[in-house]
Amino acid sequence: MVNTQITPVQYITIEEGYADQRIDNFLVTRLKSLPKTRIYRLLRKGEVRVNKKRTQPSYRLQLGDVIRLPPMHLEEKVVAAPPGKRSVAMLTDRILYEDKNLLIINKPSGIPVHGGTGVQVGVVETLRAMYPKLPQLELVHRLDADTSGCLILAKKRSTLREIHGLLRTGQVHKVYLALTKGHWSPSELRVEAALRKNHLSSGERIVKVDQEGKPSLTVFEPIQSYQGAMLVEATLHTGRTHQIRVHARYRSHPIAGDEKYGDKEFNKKLREIGLKRLFLHSHLIEFTIPSTGQHVKVTAPLDPELKKCLDKL
């Protein structure tokens, strides 16, 4: 039987180590016994207040902010099993860069960056188990579960804040590789189309081009042409959810293996030659940390499955 408890109203004052973090990420980390869906519902209904006001999930906490948490019905969850040796070995082999402040891995496809509904252990939980002496190890950004490639984690809150600042001001250079349907013409390569995120009743996220959405810019560059397909580089100038996937579809060049925004017939043809995943890979990431002047440039090689797919094409 699951034990339950009701917490009293709580007030949390934000200290320096947590300033500049999104409130949804802060609450997910702090309220580990609550499902993420419940946390977002609390924010959406205004039950969580910051400085006595309603707030959005994307709000970035400021030093001295006071968060009010309502009384909550908590369940004592079964503690998730530690990651298996196979998962640990796989991520160990995929570490691309590490220093005292940063960890950059080549994230495998098919594994979410963090645990959630139906998934107890994601990339970050596995890495925290691998680095027990790094309690502040945190994702700097996210990749879709089916996307592989460069994923940055910060070992310190100060590093997390600095790179978040770089991301907001467009000072992190991110290049992806994608296999897309058809052949791009020069006039199609720059996609500047606003994106709006919606949540379906099932809780699934869907992103659409919408003039009232957030400004979004992706620049595509042809790398290699194949029969009915093209390998392209996609450079992100903004960081919206599913941006590359939606912009590629908007140009009628959906990404191979994309079950949400893709083309069924194109996906079927690629499955016949062995592609069983989304062909989207975070190939390169580059930035300079302001406080130290440290320049970081990391590339992640294509996974064997993607290489085989290109060879067969």
* Same domain (yes/no): 47, 98: no
Position 1 scores a pLDDT of: 40
**What is the SS3 assignment for 118?**
coil
* Same domain (yes/no): 206, 278: yes
| Residue 187 CB contacts under 8 Å (≥ 6 apart), including other chains | none
Does the residue 150 lie in any domain? yes
* Same domain (yes/no): 202, 295: yes
Does the residue 80 lie in any domain? no
Position 116 scores a pLDDT of: 57
Does the residue 62 lie in any domain? yes
User: Which whole-number Å values give the CA distances from 18 to 15, 38, 127, 161, 284, in the listed order?
Assistant: 6, 22, 21, 9, 28
* Same domain (yes/no): 89, 152: yes
Final residue of a structural domain among 75, 107, 132: 75
Position 38 scores a pLDDT of: 84
Position 20 scores a pLDDT of: 82
CATH number at 23 reads 3.10.290.10
Position 76 scores a pLDDT of: 44
Q: Supply the range of the domain harboring residue 262.
A: 168-312
Q: Report how far residue 305's alpha carbon sits from residue 311's, in angstroms, rounded to the nearest whole number.
A: 10
CATH number at 142 reads 3.30.2350.10
Question: Which residues in the chain come in under a pLDDT of 50?
Answer: 1-3, 76-80
Does the residue 256 lie in any domain? yes
- Per-residue pLDDT of 171-222, as tens digits, reads 999 999 999 999 999 999 999 999 998 877 666 779 999 999 999 999 999 9
Provide, for the chain, the percentages of residues in helix, strand and coil under a 3-state DSSP scheme, each rounded to the nearest 5.
Answer: 25, 30, 45
Q: Report how far residue 171's alpha carbon sits from residue 286's, in angstroms, rounded to the nearest whole number.
A: 9
Number of domains in the chain: 3
Hey, what are 83's tokens?
A: 């990651």
Options 20, 24, 65, 144, the catalytic residue:
144
* Same domain (yes/no): 193, 245: yes
* Same domain (yes/no): 142, 182: no
- Per-residue DSSP letter, 106: E
146 is catalytic: no
* Same domain (yes/no): 146, 245: no
* Same domain (yes/no): 146, 198: no
Tally: H helices and E strands in the chain: 8, 17
Final residue of a structural domain among 27, 49, 75: 75
Final residue of a structural domain among 117, 135, 162: 162
Q: Taking the complete model, does pTM exceed 0.95, yes or no?
A: no
Position 274 scores a pLDDT of: 93
